[in-house]
Every structure is written in C-alpha cells, then in structure tokens.
C-alpha cells in the first residue's frame, strides 16, 4: 500500500548553456540531444540507481514542436538508453517548466505513487524562439483579457519599473553587473564545473569541438557600459540587454527519490523538498509572480522569509528579482541571494532553468551546514510565479 514519503533531490546535472542563434555553440545541435546528454551524465554519476527503477521521466519545453516535440520525456528516455519499461512525458509551464517537472514528480513520490523519477527541461531558443510557433487566441486581446504587451516579456519588465518607481534603472544595472561578476568568480573558483555535462558540438565549417562552460558570460561589464545600452522594449526605457537574461540553449536533469528508495539504494540526497507553490498574477506584470508563489510556499512549510538562508532566484530581468527582494525587505546585494550570479550571466533556456537553480542551491547547501532552508523561485510568462523550498541535509544548527 502506498505511503506518504519525504521527497529528496538526489542529484542534478546540466549542459553548459549556449547563446541562441547561428553564432551560438549549439546551432548545429538538436534540442533533444541536449536533454539526452544531461540524462546520460546524471545516470552515469548515479550508478547506484538501477535504470529500471525509474518510475517516470518528466521533461519540460516551452516550444513543444519539431525536435522539442514528440513527448520529450519518453523520447529522451529511449535515446538515453533507459529501459523501454521506463515511461515519460512532456510538460509546459513556460519558464517554470523544469520547476514544474520537479514539483509534479515530487508530488508523485510524496504521495507514494513513485519511488524514483527524473525531472528536467530543455530549450533550444535558437531553433525555436519563444512564441515563434504560437497562435494566441484572439479573444485574449479582443475581449481585453490580456493586454497585447503581456506576450512580450521585456514589456512586462518595463511595467514593473512603472509600478514601483523606487526600483530604479541604476539599481537594476548594478544588479546585472554584479550577476556577471559573481558568475565569473564562481567559475574561477570551480563552483559550476562539477555539475556540467560536456557536449560535443560542430561549427558551421563542420569542425567538431566540446562545449564545457556557459557561453554568454560578460564578466568585464561595467556600470558605464550598462548605462549606454539601448532599451529595446520602450524608447527611453529601463530594461536593456545587460539587465535581461540572454536568449539561450541548454538542458537540465534531476534525480528525485522517496525516503524508502534513498534508504534501499544507499543514496546520499543533496536536498529535501519542503514545499512548493505556483501562483497567478496579471500577465501584464508577470515578473512579480514569485512574490505570491513564495508566500504560498512559505505558508505551506510553516516558515517565514527570515528562515530562508539561501536564495536562487531566476534573473529573467534584474528588476524582477529586485521587486521580490524589495517586497520581502531584502537588500539588492544581500549575500544570501544568487551567490554565484544568475541567468543574466549564465543564460535562461526557459523550461530548463528551474533545475539549474536547484543544482546551484544543492551545491551551496553542501558548503553551508549553518543554513537549514533555501528557496528556488522564478517568474513565468502569462502571469505566473513558481517557488520551491528545500531543506539542507548537511544542516548542523551551528551559526557561522
């Protein structure tokens, strides 16, 4: 008989993230192959988990067409060499796709229906630009359900500035610059490399190479550079390429397990899932979505924002992160937040990003036994937010 179970994040790996477009390193690489590489890398690092024990594979993509179609969870499982007895499915919650994969597989494990599952996401924004194959229902605009600008994420970011004038462009620029600096420092300290799966790539001339690190970083960024950038979403606006996540290709994958499976297989989990929540907001200002989802997740967990010792917040736009920090009374430069930089520097392959946040939080937990709880959160297109609260298994109760 099924029993309620704890849910553990056992491990996670990802491909390096590449710049989308013809000049990006994955232009000649298929999206499903990126997900396959992440899956194989994860399974090879966790040889104690028999492949036939995986109950399901959930893989998210925002543009579920072409090489990102055909029920990714199932097709990637087959391509990665998992037994054909392992089922799989595809999922879509735009930017929170991988986060939703983890939440749904976590809920299935928590309810006792599953023991072990894979959850991740992939996005090849070079081959499939966001909204490129979408056909929004005309009623959205005709019946004034959604403002036309709500379908442009940059426009929604500009509206956060409109609504909260104290969130200045200078604050946003400084946050973007610091993201680049922190990401570079983390690379130089070897923080990311252990969880990256190298990918064989081929350039336009047919020459083979190896993708080993995130391609879009700009560590030399200065405040002066950012002040002079164009504002593509509005004349004299405040959102620039320097304070936005770049268009990105990449894949992530995580291994989740219940308490009984962890014990039986002798696994060493990196995090325990405490709670998760998703929330809806006005699509026109989708960037504030993680505020209500975080409030819901905290309430479910019986915690307050003061209990969170580490934050991994997706930097879709700098102003979006700052709006959440401002709401909860957290300083823009609080050391608990995005210690190793974020999507502004590393990239944001939409549906893949949620697990990237979790991989980084898990690695930071291992370094910080003084921290008990951490948060992964992100805004979502069409006016949503997603949040997952995690507990650190290394926690020893000692203050630093």
Residue 131 has pLDDT above 90, yes or no: no
The verdict on residue 365 lying in a domain is: yes
Number of domains in the chain: 1
Region of residue 225 (phi > 0: left; psi between -120 and 50: alpha; otherwise: beta): alpha
Share of the chain above pLDDT 70, in %: 100
Could you tell me the pLDDT band of residue 108, with boundaries at 50, 70 and 90?
A: very high
For every residue of 22-88, DSSP letters joined together read TTSTTTTS-HHHHHHHHHHHHHHH-TTS-GGG--EEEEE-SS-SGGG-S-HHHHHHHHTT--TT---
Better pLDDT: 136 or 329 = 329
Residue 151 has pLDDT above 80, yes or no: no
How high is the mean pLDDT of the chain?
96
- pTM for the predicted model, two decimal places: 0.97
pLDDT (0 to 100) of residue 206? 85
The verdict on residue 302 lying in a domain is: yes
The verdict on residue 155 lying in a domain is: no
Which residue has 């037994």 as its token pair? 83
Give strand ranges (E) for the chain. Answer: 7-14, 18-19, 56-60, 89-91, 116-124, 199-202, 208-211, 248-258, 271-280, 308-313, 373-380, 384-391
pLDDT (0 to 100) of residue 135? 87
The verdict on residue 181 lying in a domain is: no
Could you tell me the pLDDT band of residue 152, with boundaries at 50, 70 and 90?
A: confident
Q: Residues with catalytic annotation?
A: 95, 348, 379
Cα–Cα distance, 108 to 104 (Å, whole number): 6
The residues, ordered by sequence, that sit 6+ positions from 112 with a Cβ below 8 Å of its Cβ are 2, 3, 4, 5, 258
Q: In terms of residue numbers, what domain contains 323?
A: 7-128+246-389
pLDDT (0 to 100) of residue 205? 83
- Which is nearest to 278 in space by CA: 385, 144, 399, 397? 385
Q: Using CB atoms within 10 Å of the CB of residue 110, give its burial: 0 to 12 exposed, 13 to 18 middle, 19+ buried.
A: middle
The verdict on residue 309 lying in a domain is: yes
The verdict on residue 179 lying in a domain is: no
Per-residue pLDDT averaged across 230-256, rounded? 96
- Report the CATH number that the domain containing residue 71 is assigned in CATH: 3.40.47.10
104 in Cβ contact with 89 (< 8 Å)? no
The verdict on residue 320 lying in a domain is: yes
Angle, helices 72-79/31-45, rounded to nearest 10 degrees: 60
The verdict on residue 236 lying in a domain is: no
Query: Which pLDDT tens digit goes with each residue over 35-93?
Result: 999 999 999 999 999 999 999 999 999 999 999 999 999 999 999 999 999 999 999 99
């Amino acid at each position: 008989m099924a029993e309620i179970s704890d849910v553990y994040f056992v491990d996670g790996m990802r491909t390096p993230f590449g710049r989308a477009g013809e000049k990006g390193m994955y232009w000649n690489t298929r999206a499903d192959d990126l997900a396959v590489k992440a899956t194989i890398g994860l399974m090879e690092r966790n040889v104690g988990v028999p492949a036939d024990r995986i109950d399901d594979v959930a893989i998210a993509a925002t543009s579920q067409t072409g090489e990102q179609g055909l029920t990714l969870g199932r097709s990637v499982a087959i391509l990665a060499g998992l037994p054909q007895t392992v089922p799989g499915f595809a999922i879509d919650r735009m930017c929170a796709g991988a986060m939703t994969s983890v939440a749904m597989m976590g809920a299935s494990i928590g309810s006792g229906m599953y023991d072990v599952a894979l959850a991740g996401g992939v996005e090849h924004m070079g081959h499939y630009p966001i909204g490129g194959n979408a056909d929004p229902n005309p009623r959205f605009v005709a019946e004034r359900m959604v403002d036309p600008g709500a379908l442009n994420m940059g426009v929604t970011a500009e509206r956060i500035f409109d609504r909260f004038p104290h969130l200045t462009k200078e604050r946003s620029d400084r946050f973007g610059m610091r993201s680049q600096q922190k990401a570079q420092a983390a690379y130089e300290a070897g923080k990311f490399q252990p969880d990256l799966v190298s990918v064989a790539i081929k350039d336009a001339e047919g020459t083979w190479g190896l993708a080993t690190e995130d391609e879009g970083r700009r560590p030399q960024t200065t405040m002066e550079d950012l002040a002079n950038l164009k504002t593509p979403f509005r004349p004299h606006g405040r959102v620039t390429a320097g304070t936005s996540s770049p268009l990105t290709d990449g894949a992530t994958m995580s291994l989740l397990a219940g308490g009984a499976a962890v014990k039986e297989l002798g696994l060493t989990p990196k995090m325990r899932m405490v709670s998760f929540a998703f929330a809806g907001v006005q699509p026109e200002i989708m960037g504030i979505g993680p505020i209500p989802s975080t409030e819901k997740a905290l309430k479910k967990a019986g915690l307050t924002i003061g209990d969170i010792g580490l934050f991994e917040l997706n930097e879709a736009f700098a102003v979006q992160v700052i709006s959440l920090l401002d709401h909860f009374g957290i300083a823009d430069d609080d050391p608990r937040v995005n210690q190793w930089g974020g999507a502004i520097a590393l990239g944001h392959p939409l549906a893949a990003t949620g697990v990237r946040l979790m991989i980084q939080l898990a690695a930071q937990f291992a370094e910080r036994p003084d921290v008990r709880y951490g948060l992964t959160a992100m805004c979502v297109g069409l006016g949503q937010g997603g949040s997952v609260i995690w507990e650190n298994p290394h926690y020893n109760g000692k203050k630093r």
